[in-house]
Amino acid sequence: MKRLYRYGGIAASVVLVAFGIGSIVVGANGRAEVRHDLSREQIVGTPDMEGVANKHITTGAMARKFAEGMRKHALEATGGKTYAQMPRYMGKDGKPTNDEKQAATDPKSGKPLDNPARNIWVTETALSTALNTSYFAENVANFAIVMGIALLLTGIGFGVLSVTVLGERPEESPARQPRATTRPALS
């Protein structure tokens, strides 16, 4: 039975080491892909962006800072209002309104014109979501690397224990074994 435990421990160790290595490789590849994709977009922080001013955006953390800067710019462009706080239509008088009857209309379709300031938020939300996804993806990749290292070390430790604690020990020498006592035959 001890042999079964030993071989089972060794097999579990091999599986843990394999999963650890796989996790490290997948994490490293994911992180590299995020950084490659960000770099390929050639995004550069504007001079007023904290932490990324005039820097090429190449990491998830930098992408998150850039997204924060974009939000600041969108708020500046809309007078401090978010998408949901702005009226839906552009009024006939040039001022935004929620009243469809007071809205300016498209001469071709006759439909009310949307408030163009709201489109700033649609664009900002789409871009910042992509940038924040890069931040999240890079952190997931880092987590996979850390977990891979933990699995690798656990597998190695489990293997060492399986071999040393459950390993076969040499048979004790005959000199150490207790001698069999002979009993006198009963007649």
Residue holding tokens 């390993």?
Answer: 167
Q: Which residue(s) pair with 112 in the sheet? A: 105
Return the beta strands (E) in the chain as ranges.
89-90, 96-97
Q: Which two tokens stand for residue 90?
A: 């552009």
pLDDT less than 50: residues of the chain: 172-173
Q: Rounded to whole angstroms, how far apart are CA atoms 79 and 41?
A: 29
The per-residue pLDDT for 59 is 97
Domain ranges of the chain: 2-85+117-164
- Looking at residue 187, its pLDDT comes to 61
What is the rounded CA–CA span in Å between residue 127 and residue 119? 12
